[in-house]
Structure 1
Amino acid sequence: MLPSPKKYSYEEFLDLTKDKRAEFIDGEIYLLASPSFEHQIVISKLNIELMNFFKNTNCIPILYPFDVIFENENTGEINVVQPDLTIICDKENITDKGYKGIPKLIIEVLSPSTASIDYIKKMSLYSKFKVEEYWIINPRNKTLQIFVLEKDLYIEYAALTSEDIAYSYSFNGLSINLKDIFNW
């Protein structure tokens, strides 16, 4: 039997990762590597589209590295993630330490080293804290999966390729031509 990974407290996480990009999920620390070119170009193009859509609204897209802090006040449980893109509609929850609240939409761009974390750990965390919509983009395959929270579980709302247009479940009128995002 393999030993289980060490669980850390939130305070240990803060102390151990002062000068590092890291996430803290269910007591485990995940150090973040530098992203690939494909990752960066996809997220940059997507951010431009989102900034234009959310201009003059109460919502704002935020690029990583920016801490999104999920805290269960009843249990004291704290998780910290740095999604590639986060749509925040309650700006009053932005502090000097990051954002402490529940985003309406989180977007992750897969890297080979993070795919299992994005699909398993983060999907579980986001559903637990009731993030309404979750997008996972695969830049190598040029695909996008949109998941929507239904009865505390994510269901696949759409599975799209670079030839498709992505329509948000949560934001009426938000559509992204994936050909524009995957064209580099």
Structure 2
Amino acid sequence: MDKEKKAADRIKEQSVTYEMYAAMPDDGHRYEIFDGKLEMMSPGATASHQTISGTLFFMLMQSCKSDYLIFHPPFDVILSKTNVLQPDMMMIHRSRLHLVTERGIEGAPDMVVEIISPGSRKKDRGVKMETYAKFGVQEYWVIDSDTRTLEQFQLVEENYELIQLFDGDDRVISDKLPCVSFEVSEIFAEVMRGQ
């Protein structure tokens, strides 16, 4: 067993902090931390996942870049010492730039997006959703390429409520993110052309 594997195994046995995570040797995998538990992320994104992510990033940059910084992975969202996630996309208002450091976003972004893949469906709708809500991410989008939908959740007190399920040519808007305005079908257009 080599040194890197021993170090990774030792870290997995104890409550993991951001500092421990950041000091891990690069083993070619991506990890997240949930309440001190290190979890390997799903294998690399599929072509449709990347296409949807790229299209959404482009659209948000066109309409929101003057008010928000928009990031995509690998980029850490450090919600606490023992909760570090890498959403598929995140937006943070320019008035909150003090949360953006060289390490990542140190606090809750204004909005995060998870694009469901077969290996992430349960996690995106479970532990990730709970963690984002617990730390005050105001808006959470779940994009499902199978159903070609975008679920918009907003934080109400300490839990997310489904505000809208967008599909087809529904226009995606948000009272919390006024720069957002596009038809949900636009983010799936390239994927549909390739099928």
State if a TM-score over 0.5 links the two structures. Answer: yes
Which residue of structure 2 lines up, in the alignment, with residue 103 of structure 1? 109
Give the TM-score normalised by structure 2: 0.82
Shift of 1:122: 0.8
| Stretches of structure 1 lacking an aligned partner (at least 5 in a row) | 72-76
In 2, Cα distance between equivalents of 1:84 and 1:70: 16
**How has the CA–CA distance of structure 1 residues 156 and 98 changed in structure 2, closer, same or farther, with 3 Å as cutoff?**
same
> What's the C-alpha RMSD, in Å, of the aligned pairs?
1.7
The reply to whether residue 28 of structure 1 matches residue 72 of structure 2 is: no
Total equivalences in the alignment: 174
Give the TM-score normalised by structure 1: 0.87
Which has the higher Rg, Structure 1 or Structure 2?
A: 2
In 2, Cα distance between equivalents of 1:162 and 1:23: 33
2:82 to 68, 74, 78: 78
SS at match of 1:95: coil
SS at match of 1:181: helix
Q: Residue 162 of structure 1 contacts residue 182 of structure 1 at CA under 8 Å; is this kept in 2?
A: no
In 2, Cα distance between equivalents of 1:148 and 1:56: 23
| Stretches of structure 2 lacking an aligned partner (at least 5 in a row) | 1-11, 191-195
SS at match of 1:61: strand
**How has the CA–CA distance of structure 1 residues 7 and 117 changed in structure 2, closer, same or farther, with 3 Å as cutoff?**
farther
In 1, Cα distance between equivalents of 2:185 and 2:169: 6
Shift of 1:93: 1.7
2:145 to 139, 144, 153: 139
In 1, Cα distance between equivalents of 2:91 and 2:179: 15
Identity of aligned residues (%): 29
**How has the CA–CA distance of structure 1 residues 60 and 163 changed in structure 2, closer, same or farther, with 3 Å as cutoff?**
same
What letter is aligned with 1:13? Y
Q: Which structure shows the higher helix fraction? A: 2
SS at match of 2:175: coil
What letter is aligned with 1:134? Y
SS at match of 1:183: helix
Q: Residue 110 of structure 2 contacts residue 138 of structure 2 at CA under 8 Å; is this kept in 1?
A: yes
In 2, Cα distance between equivalents of 1:113 and 1:63: 19
The reply to whether residue 9 of structure 1 matches residue 16 of structure 2 is: yes
